[in-house]
Amino acid sequence: MRRLSCCIFVLIVAVTSACAPGAGEGDGGTDGNTVRIGTIFPLTGASASTGQRTLEGVKLAAEIVNEDVDMDLPLASGEGLPNLEGARIEIVSADHEEDPETGASETERLITSENVSAVIGAYFSSVTLTASERAERLGVPFVNGSSSSPELTEGRDLQFFWRTGPSDRTFAESFFDFLDDLNAEKDAGVQSIAILHENTAYGTDAAEVTEEVANERGYEIVSTVPHGNGVNDVTPEASSIKSKNPDAVFQASYTPEAILFTQTFRQLDYVPNILAYGAGYSDSAYFEAVGDAGNYTISRAAWALDAVKDRPAAVEVAEMFEARYGHPMDENSARDFTAALTLFQAIDEAGSTEAEAIQEAMNNTDVPAEQTIMPWDGISFDETGQNELARGVILQYIDGEYKLIWPFEAATADVVWPLPEFSKR
Amino acid sequence: MEAFAQTVVSGLLLGAVLALIAVGLTLIFGVVDIVNFAHGEFVMVGMYVAFFSWSLAGIDPLLAVPLSALAVGLLGALAYATFVRKAMRGTLLSQIFVTFGLLIFLRGAAQALFTSNFRGIQGTVLTDLGGSIGGVAVPGPQLAAAVVSLLGTGAIGLFVWKTRAGKALMATSQDREAAAMLGIDPHRMFALAWFVGGLATGVAAALVAAYQPVHPNAGIAYGLMAFVIVALGGFGSIGGALIAALLVGLIQNIAGFYLAAEYKELWVFLLFLTVILIRPQGLLGRR
């Protein structure tokens, strides 16, 4: 009897949830006059501070659309989305806890129970991978701003996935262009390279693409050191790099390990010439935690205030961000701000929250460079959903701010190479 | 050779700190017979005490050691007096879940109160101290942490083996009823064990805060390692915890350097499983 009632209960739950409103159908996203947009970021766990900053980027984009803001950006003037009778954007945020499985199930929950019209996320490449596949299956657009794994737009053939930011393939090429220039113009003599990377999709894919490009360009890889996340000691990893003493170290790590490595290298009295694949090194929290030891960090970036100072709107957005959230806008927030604004433009262009209409508008996106806050050539997607106009720049953290050091002709500061000792930073 | 010497030095420095953290855990377990799942979070709380002492009052982490120790000690005693004592009257399951609940609560409270931002203590007395001996780096903050931790571990040993209160503690751990009959109040002893265990943990926490990022999840890795060390050394054994911690530090560093660093914890767990197979009571544990 007990078993029978259990079965009935399960059956009822299954049936009612299948019939729940908006389970993948219709334009469930408008409720009165709001457009619901889901976000999926790491809001708890070791990378919670980064997740918070990416979410703040999205929220600021929504605010600029919702309020009448005097700014030279699309949708800034006037309240709401004009083609949807001034509908306001409502952000529904979810937490993936850095876990690909949670990311997928939370994305499903956003779509089926929270009724969102599109999803933005997920910072961790490993989570973006699973979450975007779930969104694809449910036929809802997924837009990514801050995941860089090349795998996301190579060989996946998704119809509802777009990435506004550059992939690490673009970044790796920029890095080696930079090294070529550094060797040619500053006689840096960089030849041997080590790769230090975290061991999920972001880090392993960055390592792979670095190796590929290094081999093409004739650089020698002397060591590849993967590391786990959420560890309390990285001495063996750091000692291993130290023992090989490479001319440059390519590093792809999230914030906690970026901090730990900086502290450990310092304790081992070794100064690696790190070229960082953003992530931890793009996080303003990193610089707060390590203080002066973070000076002269070199990182690839899709955004830096210093690289867009000639765009009034970009400067205004950065100022508004800092005033609103109390810390400076960093690359991660800027990237998801742009992903969000691109999506909002497409929804407005479509004049509808129906998935197919948004899809068509996203595919036809053509935003000129000066209509973005990014140092790119604009936003326009190829058939894989990759923004083919996204560009990478190379920055060095000098006097409390990331400065543009490459391309040399656009640089606002001279590169400091090799990196100075920690005690002299 | 230089590289090998470096791994040994780094391993011992790490092991010494892990030892004091594990001693805190093993003391609570040995006396109270409850596993404190929130032990890693105790470390995290101590790290925050050291961080805020530094950032708000400019107190060097070395001087913040007593503050952090006292704070975590009181946290331990409070946890016992409020929840654990009640849960001990309940089923085994409630005993397990009370400290697990504490873990979730402390981590969540830290994120709510202090945000998930990473904090770091910079420019302390120790930061640029230390140097290298024959190419082997001996960093100041870690050396200080290791030395103080070893002293702390020794002090806990002396307390337990030589003082009246310590002997009463051990008597309670060996036979609760007999000790009670001789006039030793078990609840006071339990509270004392939580307090002293917290004290030890707080000392280590303030020291690691000098060279590691402080955030709500900072204790997780320490909690896990402390459990392995306690099981490896023998539940309730202070000497066992010390030996096991040094072993774990050495293995992590040597295997991490010469074999794959990514799997450095694998070797630790392999050793752990091997010891459990051969000596289920741990290296120095009693059956």
Which tens digits make up the pLDDT trace of A316-335?
999 999 999 999 999 999 99
Residue A405: phi and psi, rounded to 5, are -115, -10
pLDDT (tens digit per residue) in A356-398: 999 999 999 999 999 999 999 999 999 999 999 998 899 999 9
d(CA A354, CA A118): 9
Say if the Cβ atoms of B120 and A259 lie within 8 Å: yes
- What is the pLDDT at residue B8? 93
> Looking at residues B66-95, what average pLDDT do you find?
92
From chain A residues 295-324, the ones with a CB under 8 A of any chain B CB are none
Q: Which residues pair with A395 in a beta bridge?
A: A299, A404
d(CA B269, CA B250): 13
Lowest-confidence segment of A123-132, B11-20, B251-260 by average pLDDT: B251-260
d(CA A117, CA A355): 7
> Looking at residues B127-148, what average pLDDT do you find?
84
How far is the alpha carbon of A412 from chain B, nearest alpha carbon, in Å? 29
pLDDT (tens digit per residue) in A164-215: 999 999 899 999 999 999 999 989 999 999 999 999 889 999 999 999 999 9
DSSP code per residue over B63-128: TTHHHHHHHHHHHHHHHIIIIIHHHTTS-HHHHHHHHHHHHHHHHHHHHHHH-S--B---S-TTTT
Cα A300–Cα A304–Cα A310 angle in degrees, nearest 5? 135
- Chain A nearest-CA residue for B140: A267
Query: What is residue B61's three-state secondary structure?
Result: coil
Residue A353: phi and psi, rounded to 5, are -105, 15
- Mean of pLDDT over chain A: 89
> Looking at residues A47-61, what average pLDDT do you find?
94
Query: What is residue A329's three-state secondary structure?
Result: coil
- Chain A nearest-CA residue for B4: A239
Taking the alpha carbons at both ends of chain A, their separation in whole angstroms is 74
- What is the pLDDT at residue A260? 92
> Looking at residues A342-347, what average pLDDT do you find?
97
Question: Pairing between strand A220-227 and A248-252?
Answer: unpaired
Q: Quick one: which of A187, A399, A393 has its CA closest to A296? A: A399
> Looking at residues B137-158, what average pLDDT do you find?
92
pLDDT (tens digit per residue) in A242-271: 999 999 999 999 999 999 999 999 888 899
How far is the alpha carbon of B102 from chain A, nearest alpha carbon, in Å? 17
Chain B residues whose CB is inside 8 A of the A290 CB are 120, 122
Sign of CA dihedral A118, A124, A127, A133: positive
Using an 8 Å Cβ cutoff, are A139 and A355 in contact?
yes
Which helix (H) or strand (E) covers residue B33, if one does?
A: none
Chain A residues whose CB is inside 8 A of the B262 CB are 199, 225-228
From chain A residues 153-192, the ones with a CB under 8 A of any chain B CB are none
At residue A20 the predicted structure's pLDDT band, cuts being 50, 70 and 90, is very low
Q: How many CB atoms lie within 10 A of CB B76?
A: 31
At residue B78 the predicted structure's pLDDT band, cuts being 50, 70 and 90, is very high
Instruction: Pick A99 or A14 by higher pLDDT.
Output: A99
From chain A residues 42-101, the ones with a CB under 8 A of any chain B CB are 43-46, 48-49, 51-52
Classify residue B269 by burial, with Cβ atoms within 10 Å: 0-12, 13-18, 19+: middle
- Decide if pLDDT at A25 tops 60: no
Q: What is the ipTM of this complex?
A: 0.82
- What is the pLDDT at residue A231? 86
Lowest-confidence segment of A24-28, A92-96, A113-117, B186-190 by average pLDDT: A24-28
Q: Quick one: which of B45, B43, B18, B47 has its CA closest to B120? A: B47
Q: Which of A232, A285, A423 sits opposite B128 (nearest CB)?
A: A423
Q: Which of A44, A235, A292 sits opposite B10 (nearest CB)?
A: A235
Q: Quick one: which of A351, A370, A254, A252 has its CA closest to A310? A: A370
- Decide if pLDDT at A7 tops 90: no
- Decide if pLDDT at A10 tops 50: no
Instruction: Pick B225 or B285 by higher pLDDT.
Output: B225
Chain B residues whose CB is inside 8 A of the A232 CB are 208, 212, 218, 221-222, 225
d(CA A340, CA A317): 14
- What is the pLDDT at residue A32? 61
Q: Which of A225, A227, A235, A243 best probes binding to B when mutated, by most B CB atoms within 10 angstroms?
A: A235
- Decide if pLDDT at A148 tops 70: yes
Chain A residues whose CB is inside 8 A of the B254 CB are 236
Q: How many CB pairs under 8 A join A and B?
A: 119
Say if the Cβ atoms of A225 and B261 lie within 8 Å: yes
Chain B residues whose CB is inside 8 A of the A259 CB are 118, 120, 213
Q: How far from the centroid of its chain's Cα atoms is residue A196's Cα?
A: 19
Using an 8 Å Cβ cutoff, are A139 and A28 in contact?
no
Which of left, alpha, beta for A385 (phi over 0: left; psi -120 to 50: alpha)? Answer: left
d(CA B263, CA B283): 24
- What is the pLDDT at residue A30? 52
Query: What is residue A244's three-state secondary structure?
Result: helix
Q: Which of A44, A45, A268 sits opposite B137 (nearest CB)?
A: A268
Tokens 């709380």 locate to: B45
- Decide if pLDDT at A162 tops 80: yes
Percentage of chain A beyond pLDDT 90 is: 74
Say if the Cβ atoms of A240 and B257 lie within 8 Å: yes
Taking the alpha carbons at both ends of chain B, their separation in whole angstroms is 41
How far is the alpha carbon of A253 from chain B, nearest alpha carbon, in Å? 13
Lowest-confidence segment of A9-13, A194-198, A311-315, B73-77 by average pLDDT: A9-13
Percentage of chain A beyond pLDDT 70 is: 92
Query: What is residue A35's three-state secondary structure?
Result: strand
Kindly give the residue spans of alpha helices, DSSP state H, lying in A151-234. 168-186, 201-217
Say if the Cβ atoms of B7 and A236 lie within 8 Å: yes
- Decide if pLDDT at A5 tops 70: no
Q: Does A286 touch chain B (CB under 8 A)?
A: yes
> Looking at residues A49-66, what average pLDDT do you find?
95
Query: What is residue A296's three-state secondary structure?
Result: coil
d(CA B122, CA A421): 16
- Decide if pLDDT at A340 tops 80: yes
- Decide if pLDDT at A8 tops 70: no
Say if the Cβ atoms of B252 and A48 lie within 8 Å: no
Using an 8 Å Cβ cutoff, are A130 and A148 in contact?
no
Classify residue A309 by burial, with Cβ atoms within 10 Å: 0-12, 13-18, 19+: middle
> Looking at residues B221-228, what average pLDDT do you find?
92
Structure token pair of residue A82: 């004009």
pLDDT (tens digit per residue) in A79-92: 999 999 999 999 99
pLDDT (tens digit per residue) in A276-291: 998 899 888 899 888 8
> Looking at residues A144-165, what average pLDDT do you find?
93
Using an 8 Å Cβ cutoff, are A395 and A375 in contact?
no
How far is the alpha carbon of A144 from chain B, nearest alpha carbon, in Å? 23
Instruction: Pick B95 or A274 by higher pLDDT.
Output: A274
Q: Which of B14, B103, B118 best probes binding to A when mutated, by most A CB atoms within 10 angstroms?
A: B118
> Looking at residues B106-131, what average pLDDT do you find?
84
Q: Which of B120, B217, B260 sits opposite A289 (nearest CB)?
A: B120
From chain A residues 253-282, the ones with a CB under 8 A of any chain B CB are 255-256, 259-260, 263, 266-270
> Looking at residues A122-133, what average pLDDT do you find?
95
Q: Which of A232, A239, A270 sits opposite B212 (nearest CB)?
A: A232
- Decide if pLDDT at A98 tops 60: yes
Instruction: Pick A1 or B85 by higher pLDDT.
Output: B85
